[in-house]
Structure 1
């Protein structure tokens, strides 16, 4: 059964690719070989990770149903499974670095833990980084692009890619850390990440914050304090935001009926899910899907 919103798979043009690719925004905008329902300006879901560096122009980019303004030296980072769409405007330029989750997993041992937490934690951080004018991050994107498209040399190129990928990650983590200075690795942050992990596993079972507090062996009050400190909202609000985002992704990326979706998300009655969804979005599931499609 065809999907309403395409799920775009990783498909590098370079042969013997280990799971990483880079192209320019201009190249993507000018491609004519894309099917109409796969056009990058239309809403789609990505099956890979992506870092977009805007070097010229102004526009906006959709990430999980929110349009973010972009300009020169804006970086957008997107995780596998997120909803995305570009808006190509005149004079828009930049680089798009794509890599699979398998590639990222292989890189994890050479990357500080902070970098994975800050750059690819969609429920915890904004996807935007504004790069300072005096930063040299762009030089590494340019170097990566030139190395990747160098057809004359292929000896040891994979190690070159890995090294440049690690440098770019480290540079971006440092910039992200300045923007999220209040979040340092601590027992509170680790507990929050454990809470998020439990929620990803059990959100179909329970939407009750007490359920997760018990499994973390802490009180409901303590979990609330941790959530407010970490993301500025209560544990229940975080649970609701998580479930609504999952519901939105499922609604627009399949032909699932809202009744079936309600049961899949752990609601005993479809009417309860409709009320829950409308309370948090202002739309019924069907009207939301129709609006986005």
Structure 2
């Protein structure tokens, strides 16, 4: 292997936020270990190369580096900014599906130039203070994280979104904005006026996951929410998610989560 694989998270961390290290100017090409890295730069000049494509650094600017991407920095002036790291396991643990959708949506991006930075910088500062405080509150930092991700999307230059990214984003919107999920990729491909094969290719390109894997994550997230926040019987939850019977839902849930729905509900409530 000709490149380094870096891991900036402790084993029990799923999210980390820290100031961009001012001494980081030039790095060798490396990848990350199972996490998305979002880098906000407010100062600095030079280039950032991601998958052999070089981007000029012109703050305010955000870079998104997925675990499968090779990248390196060549910064010529003192940088300032914030680094946000989100582990892949995060989307399987959080119950706020809007937050999941925002993370998934931004993970399809590579670079965004921002029109306005003050409000985003303020939220990042509050997030940094909360997560690195003596007694961080998950409710608080999840709310701040959701706010900053939403503002990034809102403030970003929409011309930066590729067509493939737009289709991927539309797929996520169908999954996370829907009141009822259908466990069938072809159903969503038809709604997007594409084929299951093309949707699968787009998901692989944008997220390095199949369309069915992304659908499974959405179904499991919705199942966990209903198990924790409703009193619906397990068979009714399985039925609402399109499973043919309770035993099929129980096997599916245990295969992916490691617990049966009933056990998951008992340890989560």
TM-score range, shorter chain: 0.5 to 0.7
Q: Give 1:21's match in structure 2, choosing from 16, 35, 54.
A: 16
- 5+ residue gaps, structure 2, are 171-190, 211-269
The 3-state SS of whatever aligns with 2:193 is helix
Cα distance in 2, alignment partners of residues 46 and 68 from structure 1: 19
Q: Which TM-score applies when normalising by structure 2?
A: 0.57
Q: Which TM-score applies when normalising by structure 1?
A: 0.52
Shift of the 53–198 alpha-carbon distance from structure 1 to 2, 3 Å rule, reads closer
The corresponding residue for 2:112 is 129
Q: Give 1:187's match in structure 2, choosing from 192, 206, 210.
A: 192
The 3-state SS of whatever aligns with 1:168 is helix
Cα distance in 2, alignment partners of residues 68 and 96 from structure 1: 18
Decide whether the 8 Å contact of 1:56 with 1:94 is kept in 2: yes
How many equivalent residue pairs? Answer: 181
Shift of the 109–149 alpha-carbon distance from structure 1 to 2, 3 Å rule, reads closer
Decide whether the 8 Å contact of 1:75 with 1:128 is kept in 2: yes
The corresponding residue for 1:143 is 126
Aligned pairs for 1:4-15 within 5 A: 4-12=2-10
Aligned pairs for 1:172-211 within 5 A: 172-176=152-156, 178-179=158-159, 180=161, 183=166, 185=170, 187-188=192-193, 192-197=198-203
1:172-209 C-alpha deviation (Å, 9 max, x unpaired) = 2333473339736361378543343478689xxxxxxx
1:102-145 C-alpha deviation (Å, 9 max, x unpaired) = 02333474326763453112xxx5x1111113662121111112
The 3-state SS of whatever aligns with 1:115 is helix
Q: Give 1:66's match in structure 2, choosing from 50, 53, 60.
A: 53
**TM-fit CA distance, 1:98:** 0.9
CA RMSD across the alignment: 3.2
**TM-fit CA distance, 1:94:** 0.7
